[in-house]
Amino acid sequence: MSTRNTLPEGVISLPAHEAHARHVLDANAWAYFAGGAADEHTLRANPAAWEALALHPRILRPVAGGHTRVSLLGRSLAHPILLAPVAYQRMAHPDGELGSAVAASAQEAGLVLSTQASTPLEAVADAIRSDPDRGPLWFQLYLQHDRGFNIELIRRAEAAGYEALVLTVDAPCSGARDRERAAGFRLPPGISAVNLAGLPPRPARDLAPGRSGLFDDLLHDAPTWNDIAWLQAQTRLPVILKGVLHPEDAREAVRQQVGGLIVSNHGGRTLDTLPTTANALPAVVDAVDGSLPVLVDGGIRRGTDVLKAMALGASAVLIGRPYIFGLANAGALGVAHVIRLLRDELEIAMALCGARTLQQLPNGLLGKPAQPAR
């Protein structure tokens, strides 16, 4: 275990965790965890979009006895905050995914473990599975080129006790991550995607002159809607699609009878100038018309952001970078602190807006910001 397990003095918010982590992480890890695609417009726009939504509180409403509980996939959650899948967490802190999992469990938050975790999926599940108060435990899946390996990975997740598969659908290839390229990003020795050990190499394709290594090679293995049907036939677990922004894709997901959707632009890490998740969420919620849960991630930094997401129809939210910065700062304690801060801020925002529960939010809670006087 690392000695970096004490909360830094003065770190009292998620933005403060980020600012402190900038001095804790080396340039290689900072480029990976903090960077985005291309000019990073989407990376910056995600939090700004939540900030731009104004809360219109109601006063003198009875809020005593309120709570933050929500229901999700047949489970009652103490609050609507989950940890999004983030790869290679041992780059941020030696405790890596185990630290994040223990913190999530202690704070009753859901956890989505990345396919590219730097800790075996079984070890993460073993660390928290028996905790009766933990949140949901889900496994994020990147479909690999070998179907037999995919089935083996699914069986491992099922046997370990994961309760859903979260299929990332918005990254058939990596984004143009200028910050990583400028830093010469590389995985440090001893850190790898351990759950992909044993994956057979991709079959080599002979490319004729002028052919594209992307379109004529790599993208032959990219998933399509046909693979969604195949995946659902291979597992007893609900399949949640992560990376949905367009309402037509949401409607197709309803037709495919998936278990849920996550409105996400991959934290601005794949394609730059995508819609912000705050702006994309309402149309996706309308498209599914209550037929399945819709979660959202991207740019959530305050409890007010969580409340706004719920007011826009989200079933729950996920955070990514904020808890990684907490992990970098203080290991499991830092992750727990991030979750607790966000939940406390959510309760405060609810109380000050006259919202007793997340199921009974006041009408007209969200509106455009007031225009400054001329």
- Please provide the size of the chain in residues: 374
* 204 found inside a domain: no
CA distance to 95, 105, 162, 259, 347, per residue, from 111 (Å)? 16, 8, 10, 17, 21
CA distance to 172, 333, 336, 363, per residue, from 285 (Å)? 24, 34, 30, 17
pLDDT surpasses 80 at 374: no
Question: 57 Cβ partners below 8 Å, 6+ apart?
Answer: 352, 353, 354, 362, 365
| Contact between 108 and 125 (Cβ < 8 Å) | no
List, in sequence order, every residue forming a beta bridge with 60; answer none if it has no partner: none
List, in sequence order, every residue forming a beta bridge with 110; answer none if it has no partner: 82
Tokens of 136: 């949901």
- The separation between CA 190 and the C-alpha centre of its own chain, rounded to angstroms, equals 25
pLDDT of residue 210: 79
Mean pLDDT of the chain: 94
* 208 found inside a domain: no
- The separation between CA 141 and the C-alpha centre of its own chain, rounded to angstroms, equals 13
* 209 found inside a domain: no
| 337 has catalytic annotation | no
* 7 found inside a domain: no
| Contact between 104 and 111 (Cβ < 8 Å) | yes
List, in sequence order, every residue forming a beta bridge with 165; answer none if it has no partner: 139, 239
Work out the pLDDT band at 221, boundaries 50, 70, 90: confident
- 142-156, 194-208, 330-344: which has the minimum mean pLDDT? 194-208
pLDDT surpasses 50 at 169: yes
* 196 found inside a domain: no
* 5 found inside a domain: no
pLDDT surpasses 50 at 1: no
Give dist(CA 78, CA 76) in Å, integer: 7
Give dist(CA 96, CA 351) in Å, integer: 35
pLDDT of residue 3: 54
pLDDT surpasses 60 at 372: no
The total domain count for the chain is: 1
DSSP string, 225-237: HHHHHHHHHH-SS
Work out the pLDDT band at 2, boundaries 50, 70, 90: very low
- State the CATH number of the domain containing residue 114: 3.20.20.70
Q: Find, among 106, 163, 100, 165, the residue nearest to 134 by Cα.
A: 106
Look up the domain containing 341 and give its range: 14-187+220-365
pLDDT of residue 212: 75
| Contact between 108 and 77 (Cβ < 8 Å) | yes
pLDDT digit string (tens) for 174-215? 788 999 999 999 999 999 999 999 999 888 777 778 777 677
Q: Which residue has the tokens 């998933």?
A: 223
| Contact between 23 and 11 (Cβ < 8 Å) | no
* 163 found inside a domain: yes
Task: Please compute the mean of the pLDDT values over residues 334-361 and round it to a whole number.
Answer: 98
pLDDT digit string (tens) for 101-122? 999 999 999 999 999 999 999 9
In the 8-state DSSP scheme, what is residue 118? S
* 345 found inside a domain: yes
Q: Which of 17, 93, 266, 337 is catalytic?
A: 266
pLDDT digit string (tens) for 44-63? 999 999 999 999 999 999 99
Task: Please compute the mean of the pLDDT values over residues 23-31 and round it to a whole number.
Answer: 98
